[in-house]
Structure 1
Amino acid sequence: MAIKDTPEEWPITATSTPFRGNKTSVRTDDVVMPDGSVARRDYQVHPGSVAILALDESDRVLVVRQYRHPVRQKLWEIPAGLLDIPGENPLHAAQRELYEEAHVKAEDWRVLVDVYTTPGGCDESVRVFLARDLSEAEGARFDVSEEEADMEQARVPLPELVRGVLAGELHNNALVVGTLALTAALAGDGVAALRPADAEWPARPFEA
Structure 2
Amino acid sequence: MTSEHPPLRDEIVPSPVVDSEIVFDGVVWDVRREAFDLEGERLVREVIDHPGAVAVLALDEQDRTLLIRQYRHPISSHEWEIPAGLLDVAGEDPLLAAQRELAEEADLVAEHWAVLVDYFSSPGGMNEALRIYLARDLSEVPAAERHEREGEEAHILHRRVPLDEVVDAVLAGDVHNSTLVIGVLAAQRMRDHGWTSLRPADSPWPQHPSNRNHA
Bin for the TM-score computed over the shorter chain: over 0.9
User: Does structure 1 residue 177 correspond to structure 2 residue 182?
Assistant: yes
2:119 aligned partner = 115
Q: Distance in 2 between matches of 1:5 and 1:159?
A: 30
TM-score (structure 1 length as normaliser): 0.94
1:57 is the counterpart of 2:40: no
| 8 A Cα contact 1:10 1:32, kept in partner | no
TM-score (norm 2): 0.91
CA distance in 2, matches of 1:52, 1:134: 12
- Flag structure 1 segments of 5+ consecutive residues without an equivalent: none
**CA contact under 8 A between 1:10 and 1:33: conserved in structure 2?**
no
How far does residue 37 in structure 1 lie from its aligned partner after superposition?
A: 2.1
What CA distance in whole angstroms lies between the structure 2 residues aligned with 1:184 and 1:103? 27
Could you say if the C-alpha distance between residues 193 and 11 of structure 1 is closer, same or farther in structure 2, counting changes exceeding 3 Å? Answer: closer
Q: Kindly report structure 1 stretches of 4+ aligned residues shifted beyond 6 Å.
A: none
Alignment of 1:45-194 (within 5 A): 45-138=49-142, 139-188=144-193, 190-194=194-198
Q: Within the alignment, does 1:7 sit opposite 2:12 as a pair?
A: yes
Superposed CA RMSD in Å reads 1.4
Count of equivalent residues: 204
State the secondary structure of the residue aligned to 1:148.
helix
User: Match of 2:90, SS?
Assistant: coil
| Contact 2:190/2:196 (8 A) holds in 1 | no
1:110-147 superposed Cα distances (whole Å, 9 cap, x missing partner):
00000100000110011000000001013422111111
List runs of 5+ in structure 2 lacking aligned partners. none
Q: Per-residue CA shift, 1:124-182, capped at 9, x if unaligned?
A: 01100000000101342211111111111100011111111111111111100000001
